[in-house]
Amino acid sequence: MSDELASILAGLRRPQKTISPKYFYDEAGSRLFEEITRLPEYYLTATELGIMQAHIGEMADLIGERASLIEFGAGSGMKTRMLLQHMHSPAVYVPVDISGDHLIDSQRSIQADFPDVEVIPVAADFLHPFELPRPRTMPLRNVVYFPGSTIGNFEYEDALRLLRVMHTEAADGGALLIGADLQKDPAVIEAAYNDGAGVTARFNLNMLRHLNREFGSDFDLDAFEHRATYDRDERRVVVELVSRRRQVVAIGGAQIPFGEGESIVTEYSHKYSLDGFAGMAGEAGFAVERVWTDPRRWFSVHYCTRP
């Protein structure tokens, strides 16, 4: 049995069943997520882009000359391109992702649009420290980039562990540019994860299709439904797949029973206060030097330095 399958089975055998959100992102899941980012209810992407557009010059100035841009989670989207376009003589762009295929696509896309920037992809699980490549032009500093609100998908101790890996990769004098979603009216938050067109529901259910294809499981997608609720005490969205009936699912030679109404947690999305995020970053060894928010203070981008 592979480590990956063993990890999936361990999650499904817990009292509260869980599956890692990384299984959202097969080819179909990635397309669905792109569709989600354009939905009127999903404020996160448009709000972060607005912050970037308003303050990109200041961000580039803080990053400074001849920096390496190390992106956790390979990206070739608008935010990454905007940053590379405004950076001052970037030394190298290092996309980091566990998926080799996604890295190749990202490298080709970025390299085609930025032929003067060296692009060196790194296939690694960025939850653990990894070795950075040696570029042709040695950078004056390392800047770790983590756009979106992905840090919110991790529970506190895991988020702290990830920030400490970022601290290691930033090295002495380095920095971190990171997005974090903020606490706001729960109705606004819940609407973002329960869109009227049902795209988020299809995205959530597609995870089961992905598992069926990759691991030979026999999840019946019609036997589960999407649910996303805001937990006010924990200040996080809980995204689940809820069993519509009693059933048994086969995966990896195991039989996993479900009761009617029993759920699988597929994602958490924590919402931060500015002070709360600064405290977590400080515990990881970073100092928050600058924070940008939108006028409604729905989203934030933090520039953190390693003293």
Domains of the chain: 43-184+271-305 (3.40.50.150)
Residue 75 confidence (pLDDT): 67
Residue 280 CB contacts under 8 Å (≥ 6 apart), including other chains: 156, 159, 160, 163, 272
- What are the backbone angles phi and psi of residue 305, rounded to the nearest 5°? -110, 160
Residue 222 clears pLDDT 80, i.e. is over it: yes
| pLDDT at residue number 187 | 97
Average pLDDT, the chain: 94
- At residue 257, what are phi and psi to the nearest 5 degrees? -80, 145
Predicted local distance difference test score (pLDDT) of residue 274: 98
Which of the four pLDDT bands, split at 50, 70 and 90, describes residue 207? Answer: very high
Confidence at residue 76, expressed as pLDDT on a 0 to 100 scale: 64
Spell out the alpha helix ranges (H) of 13-42.
Answer: 27-37
Residue 289 in tokens = 């030097």
Q: Does 25 have pLDDT greater than 90?
A: no
pLDDT (mean) for 10-23: 95
At residue 214, does pLDDT exceed 80?
yes
The structure tokens 């817990």 sit at: 14
Look at residue 108 and tell me whether its pLDDT is greater than 90.
no
Contact 217, 251 (CB under 8 A): yes
Query: CA-to-CA distance for 81 and 241, rounded, in angstroms?
Result: 34
pTM of the model as a whole:
0.92
